[in-house]
Structure 1
Amino acid sequence: MNENTHFPDKDEKFPLENYNRLCFLKNIISNPNIIVGDYTYYDDFENVDNFEKNVKYHFDFIGDKLIIGKFCMIASDVKFIMNGANHKMDGITAYPFYIFGKDWTKATPKDGELPFKGNTIIGNDVWIGNHVTIMPGVKIGNGAIIASNSTVTKDVEDYSIIGGNPAKEIRKRFSQEKIKELLEMEWWNWDLEKITENVNFLTKKI
């Protein structure tokens, strides 16, 4: 490694001096079912510990994971709704009698009867705006941008800009040819020295 090349420490909790409302997210996570890549940051208006509080209905016994890639940008009040929020919906009522015990446990759903959408997966280099809600099992592609106050109910393609409730694609960030090139480049997997030497290239207009 070039001794003259310097870059932020991915293992530092608060990378900005005298500012503790922006963190490298992986360094504050305690839940083993939340997996976060290097240099993904979370910026909270109040306290970065709100992140895990905003991963809702994430019960250990269900086993679903929230997986977030590298170099993502996550704003305050982003909420992830996990599979524990799902109710059985094919009966007369969706009311979960069984969770209250007593004789109501006879209505406990059998394996496979509760909706399960799988893991929630956020790609690399994804920007998620303030107050976004992401529903269970959604997969967001690399380089996507999610507008503030959106509710994401279905998968998002690579390098798409989406917004609204429910969120819809507004446009692609680049041409399909350029998106293919960027996906093959996978700059987020370069070594840190190469990224550091190419930050001007990575941030210039294309």
Structure 2
Amino acid sequence: MNGPNPQNKHPMEGFPQVCFIKNTISNPNIIIGDYTYYDDPEDAENFERNVLYHFPFIGDTLVIGKFCALAKGVKFIMNGANHKFTGISTYPFQIFGNGWETVTPSPGELPYKGDTVIGNDVWIGYEALIMPGVSIGNGAIVSSRSVVTADVPAYTIVGGNPARLIKTRFAPEVVVMLEAIAWWNWPVDVITRHLALIVAGDVEALAACQEGH
């Protein structure tokens, strides 16, 4: 066998709270990789409700890589949440019309942080909050109820509000090796064959597998 079918919305029989969410996304500005799952007993298929202020006229994208584990209540704040703050008031008068639309900010006046990009093999804990334009590197871990306001390097663990570095998972030179190995891009039969090494700690052995598959 070569692992679960990535096209199956609920790969764990009798356990619908886990969902491969690539199969449930309708918004073209949300891109999800294979095998990334959302775990939520309250409608795991409706992951899009956790992507907030994601208005199509803004144009920003949420990208989440392969093999990511997203716990219940993970939220992504997108750029549509931003208000103009260079004037005296931050109140969005313009959205109510009736004459107030005369102070509609031009696009360049609203803060814009760009796309939100989550790498591969990222674990995001319960009720973590990811702010607009953040990048989270491959193999990173975000602790429960963290508020991530800045980029998270690959293979680090962050936590808190705002999220701070707790520890690095591997030495810098090992992280370079892991990024080059990129096991998540291997064919699924190769991943299945080398699972024991992928979940172990011998990076050099995994690199040797990459060379020979």
TM-score, normalization by structure 2: 0.93
Give the deviation of 1:111 after TM superposition.
2.3
Which structure has more relative contact order (CA 8 Å, sep 6+)? It is 1
Aligned equivalent of 1:187:
183
Tell me the distance in 1 between the aligned counterparts of 2:155 and 2:3: 26
Kindly provide the amino acid, as one letter, of the partner of residue 171 in structure 1: K
Shift >3 Å, 4+ stretches: none
- Count of residue correspondences: 202
Q: Report the CA distance between 1:45 and its aligned residue.
A: 2.9
Can you list the C-alpha shifts for 1:38-84, whole angstroms capped at 9, x where unaligned?
A: 01011013111442111100001111110000000000000000000
**Considering only aligned residues, what root-mean-square deviation do their CA atoms show, in Å?**
0.9
Sequence identity of aligned pairs in percent?
57
**Counterparts of 2:199 and 2:117, CA distance in 1:** 25
Is there any run of 5+ residues in structure 1 with no aligned partner, and where? none
Aligned to 1:54, which of 39, 50, 53?
50
Measured in 1, the distance between the counterparts of 2:45 and 2:37 equals 13
In the alignment, which of 66, 74, 86 is matched to residue 90 of structure 1?
A: 86
TM-score (norm 1): 0.96
| 1:26 aligned onto 2:22 | yes
Distance 1:41 1:107 in 2: 42
Are 1:113 and 2:109 matched, yes or no?
yes
Helix, strand or coil at the partner of 2:48:
helix
The residue identity in structure 2 corresponding to 1:117 is: K
Which amino acid in the other structure matches residue 152 of structure 2?
Answer: V
Q: In structure 2, what is the Cα distance between the partners aligned to 1:65 and 1:16? A: 29
* CA distance in structure 1 between the aligned counterparts of 2:41 and 2:189, rounded to whole angstroms: 32
2:62 maps to a residue whose letter is L
Matches within 5 A, 1:103-182: 103-182=99-178
Q: Which runs of 5+ in 2 are unaligned?
A: 203-213
56, 62, 69: which one pairs with 2:65?
A: 69
Partner residue, 2:206: none
Q: Distance in 2 between matches of 1:184 and 1:155?
A: 20
- Tell me the SS of whatever aligns to 1:112: helix
